[in-house]
A and B are shown apart, each in its own frame.
Chain A
């Protein structure tokens, strides 16, 4: 017998021995896929990645408990904040028969575009980020549900605070996307309902850098408040250039779209005392604090404003999957017919699938961070706002 043959036989024996001696394996759990879509690249990537991590965190926590009946794999797709890319991603996920449900999108235009895709494939779509009203109310589908409050709800809150501050003469600067114009209309309706007035709404485009023309018009109109209806990057530009033009004696407020720490990073000191009618304050509950701790132990990127909603979206999907098994239609029905206790508080759907309980919060920028207004040094009187009456 040649030496080579002896070695080969020895190798085979050892391999067999190794496997043969291992502990008896439990029966394999069935692997089920769930989907996640968000802006993982492009301007909204910071929010998308924060949400993705939060989503994965919940999945990992549930699987780590050991008694979950399925082995869950998350399929991540990037919508790049772009409706066309979003539809491609949605189609990819929904057409994969192994995927049973998905949590989706930060950008409303993307959500408006994909809601039909998920409906066509009969797959549950849990929105963790978009706040355009029509995504939920513009159709009679039962597949989409939304954990995050609507823009309408947050504009009502914005107008409440405006009234409380006695700031009733507003100019709106809105970006010309669906999101911007919707926020513009909703804020206008909300403030007018409370006896306020919108002197003018000025449109700008996403990607625009110079806002001097719009801001000169604002200066002419002499409003008490400027409402920026759009997202962080342009909001930061508008704010900085407004300060440069001396428009400091005016309340600056924005929608949840500017509730990113990036706003403070870009604007620096100019962020001080700006307002954001935003979403749930994670530090207001024990569950929220636990989430923050678990998240920070695992990830370095911030979870941004939508992390908790993505986390709860995962919980909802996993609970439904556990209850009814990997059946798309049954999951859709289960999700819609149950309420949940999540990090953001109680989640209950109205007849269209919109959560109507989850928390809205007014934030003020203090030292380049969004701080809940009631907890801020502005509310306590330690710092003062230049426009305060």
Chain B
């Protein structure tokens, strides 16, 4: 029983990280029908932007003074920076190709991901090697009758829920969210109704990239490590989660992320010798969904896109 509960916590943690990545993915698909394959690399970019920020803050002596608050400020700053990066990606890459077939744009995002990866490798000092990522999350753990609850896992799960709730609020309650939903249903009609399409798409890129940055630093600080090429795997997992949940569906991405996390952790634990095939199980699940339920778990509810 204890093992089961312990695995449950791990699965929730992995699920949180996948959901955060998947939500960004699904937003792009929902609004401009684009699978942005540089999304995973944006996560990693977040970690590589965070490390110098953290180092600088440590140098200034801020970290020892009021660590929690400083880290919070750093995280907000990072979300802002990755958001800005999202706007840049849109302006440089997506906007000029918006009229081109989506396949071209998709290829462009694959290339952008490669560029981010190699740029990190070349520019960051000793960038080819794994980098020790600062432990931003609270250390220590709670022991509840044999089950260890790490404060860092709890923080990640908590922050993910906060991110998802605020995103839900933006989509459901704000003008920007209404615009996103309108564009996702019918961009032409939305434009006729006076919605600024470009502004809406930019906001999707900003929010998506900011979420990616958040996912990246949570991933980095939990595992204590980051590497220039971590993004391809993270991106594929996020994309898979979005596919399982139903591409373009905000809630679907979360469901997909949770499902993928649970499949990975529980299959590895309960299938004999499963740990070494962890990734195989998750991709088998994706294939199964593509064959038997290509629209994903929540994919049918077309009117709730984004």
CA distance A211 to B13 in the complex (A): 12
A213: which B residues are within 8 A, CB to CB? 7, 10, 264-269, 274-275, 278
Q: Does A336 lie at the interface of the complex (its beta carbon under 8 Å from any beta carbon of B)?
A: no
Q: A239-251: contact bitstring with B at CB < 8 Å (1 yes, 0 no)?
A: 0100011100000
Would B265 and A245 count as touching, CB distance under 8 A? Answer: no
Q: Does A217 lie at the interface of the complex (its beta carbon under 8 Å from any beta carbon of B)?
A: yes
Would A205 and B276 count as touching, CB distance under 8 A? Answer: yes
Which positions 201-228 of chain A face chain B at CB distance < 8 Å? 202-205, 207-214, 216-217, 219-220
Would A233 and B130 count as touching, CB distance under 8 A? Answer: yes
> In the complex, which of the residues A176, A214, A237 contacts B268, with contact meaning CB atoms closer than 8 Å?
A214
B267: which A residues are within 8 A, CB to CB? 213
A166: which B residues are within 8 A, CB to CB? none
CA distance A49 to B224 in the complex (A): 24
CA distance A176 to B277 in the complex (A): 10
B14: which A residues are within 8 A, CB to CB? 210, 212
Q: Does A41 lie at the interface of the complex (its beta carbon under 8 Å from any beta carbon of B)?
A: yes
Q: How many A-B residue pairs have CB under 8 A?
A: 101
Would B275 and A214 count as touching, CB distance under 8 A? Answer: yes
B274: which A residues are within 8 A, CB to CB? 213
Q: Does B141 lie at the interface of the complex (its beta carbon under 8 Å from any beta carbon of A)?
A: yes
CA distance A384 to B233 in the complex (A): 40
Which positions 9-47 of chain B face chain A at CB distance < 8 Å? 10-11, 13-14
Would A216 and B269 count as touching, CB distance under 8 A? Answer: yes
Would B129 and A43 count as touching, CB distance under 8 A? Answer: yes
Task: Pick the interface stretch among A157-165, A262-270, A284-292, A325-333.
Answer: A262-270
CA distance A46 to B143 in the complex (A): 38
Tell which of A42, A43, A45, A216 has the most Cβ of chain B within 10 Å.
A216
Which positions 247-265 of chain A face chain B at CB distance < 8 Å? 262, 265
Would B7 and A216 count as touching, CB distance under 8 A? Answer: yes
A262: which B residues are within 8 A, CB to CB? 129-130, 132
Asked if A244 meets B224 with Cβ closer than 8 Å, knowing A45-B129, A208-B278, the reply is no
Q: Does A229 lie at the interface of the complex (its beta carbon under 8 Å from any beta carbon of B)?
A: no
Would A244 and B128 count as touching, CB distance under 8 A? Answer: no
Q: Does A147 lie at the interface of the complex (its beta carbon under 8 Å from any beta carbon of B)?
A: no
Q: Does A236 lie at the interface of the complex (its beta carbon under 8 Å from any beta carbon of B)?
A: yes
B7: which A residues are within 8 A, CB to CB? 212-213, 216
B233: which A residues are within 8 A, CB to CB? 207
> In the complex, which of the residues A45, A207, A216 contacts B10, with contact meaning CB atoms closer than 8 Å?
A216
> In the complex, which of the residues A176, A204, A219 contacts B3, with contact meaning CB atoms closer than 8 Å?
A219
Chain B: interface residue total (CB-CB under 8 A): 38
A233: which B residues are within 8 A, CB to CB? 130, 225
B13: which A residues are within 8 A, CB to CB? 212
B266: which A residues are within 8 A, CB to CB? 213
CA distance A246 to B130 in the complex (A): 26
B264: which A residues are within 8 A, CB to CB? 210, 213
CA distance A262 to B132 in the complex (A): 8
Asked if A246 meets B148 with Cβ closer than 8 Å, knowing A45-B129, A210-B264, A212-B10, the reply is yes
B152: which A residues are within 8 A, CB to CB? 244
Rounded to whole Å, the gap between the CB of A45 and the closest CB of chain B is 5
CA distance A328 to B264 in the complex (A): 53
**Chain B: CB-nearest residue to A40:** B128
**Chain A: CB-nearest residue to B269:** A213
Rounded to whole Å, the gap between the CB of B220 and the closest CB of chain A is 10
Please list the residues of chain A having a beta carbon within 8 angstroms of any beta carbon in chain B. 41-43, 45-46, 176, 202-205, 207-214, 216-217, 219-220, 233, 236-237, 240, 244-246, 262, 265-268
Closest A-B pairs by Cβ, 7 of them: A203-B276, A212-B10, A213-B268, A213-B269, A214-B275, A246-B148, A41-B128
Given contact pairs A45-B126, A203-B276, A233-B225, a sample of 19 additional A-B residue pairs in the complex whose CB atoms are under 8 Å apart: A42-B129, A45-B129, A202-B273, A203-B273, A204-B275, A205-B279, A208-B278, A212-B10, A212-B269, A213-B268, A214-B275, A216-B10, A217-B269, A236-B225, A244-B152, A265-B132, A266-B130, A267-B224, A268-B135
Please list the residues of chain B having a beta carbon within 8 angstroms of any beta carbon in chain A. 2-3, 6-7, 10-11, 13-14, 126, 128-130, 132, 135, 141, 143, 148, 150, 152-153, 219, 223-225, 227, 233, 264-269, 273-276, 278-279
- Show 24 A/B contacts (Cβ-Cβ < 8 Å), sorted by A: A42-B128, A45-B126, A205-B276, A208-B278, A208-B279, A210-B10, A210-B223, A212-B7, A212-B13, A213-B7, A213-B265, A213-B266, A213-B274, A213-B275, A216-B7, A216-B269, A233-B130, A240-B224, A244-B141, A244-B150, A262-B129, A262-B132, A265-B132, A268-B224
